[in-house]
Chains A and B, each alone.
Chain A
Amino acid sequence: MKKVLIVDDSETIRLEVARALGKAGFATVQACDGIDALDRIAESDFSLVILDVNMPRLGGLDLLDRLQENPKTATLPVIMLTTEAQRSMIERARKGGAKGWLIKPVTMEHLVIAVTKLAA
């Protein structure tokens, strides 16, 4: 079963995404910020990471940079899920290796389609 890491400082968002992905047949793990996410990634293999941008301790774009710098995680598919719509941020994520950028609020149906398409 493919496993997805959901990284968002909102528990409500994490639970909603986890529920939708669970129904679609994915296993999920949750992390509340970028540091928590790095700990989870060190513990386990994931098929894809869903990543918020604005989070405490370590934000999503900075985490994306760290994942890219590490050969073990450089090819891990990442989708950003955020309220940010600024083109420069979207471009930064694209250049940083992200596979997609979803602007909140997205329907869970669209999220599941994107995850299904992009998960390794």
Chain B
Amino acid sequence: MKPASSLIETIVQSATVELFRTYGVAVAPIPRAMARLNPNPPDGWCGLITFNGQGMNGALTLFVPTAILGLTKAGMSQPLQARDWIRELTNQLMGRIKTRLLQLEVTLQIGLPAALDRRLIDRRQKSSGSTHVFQFRTIRDEVTVTMEGTLDESCLKYSGSANPGSEGDVIIF
């Protein structure tokens, strides 16, 4: 596992905390020094989405234990389609990260999200030396976000000129 740069770590952590807060679940970042990949992760769902931009290309994964995933849609009247929902949550997380990077003059092209078997992700990451792991404590179990690939922080320059929209915006033309 690679330690994440502080700026990317801040972006990923804030995006993840806000995403889950939107859906009524509190998650707290686990400090890097205490973060360890769980050798026996609980049952859960994993989404993957690719990204590509200047100095940044790779894949983001989001692992959410089954119980936590259910909490994000606690008010639903129909059964949760977990595979579909983890894809959408992963998509929304990547969207938040993309928006934050826009303000740092990095524009990412993002792929379509996929739901994957956790074991495939674990195998992939154990063989890769370029995975940044971000873990978050919840009321039970942990949520894990990983970013694998190239994350060149030297490309990040705050300009304030991008002026992207924000989550929840309703823009009527």
The chain A residues found within 8 Å of chain B, CB to CB, are 9-13, 15-16, 19, 54-56, 82-87, 90, 94, 98-107, 110-111, 113-114, 117-118
B7 at the interface (CB under 8 A from A): no
Nearest A-chain residue to B171, judged by Cβ: A101
Nearest B-chain residue to A111, judged by Cβ: B170
In the complex, what distance in Å separates the CA atom of A87 from the CA atom of B162? 7
Q: Could you show 11 A-B contacts with beta carbons less than 8 Å apart?
A: A9-B112, A83-B92, A83-B96, A85-B165, A85-B166, A85-B169, A86-B99, A86-B162, A99-B173, A103-B168, A105-B168
Main secondary structure of the interface of A (DSSP, over half): mixed
- Min distance, Cβ B118 to any Cβ of chain A, angstroms: 20
Q: Is the CB of B168 within 8 A of A114?
A: no
Q: Which of A12, A55, A98, A102 contacts B169 (CB 8 A)?
A: A102
- Min distance, Cβ A7 to any Cβ of chain B, angstroms: 14
Q: Is the CB of A106 within 8 A of B170?
A: yes
Nearest A-chain residue to B169, judged by Cβ: A103
A99-B172, A101-B173, A118-B172 known; A10-B165 Cβ under 8 A: no
Q: Is the CB of A12 within 8 A of B99?
A: no
Q: Is the CB of B112 within 8 A of A105?
A: no
B77 at the interface (CB under 8 A from A): yes
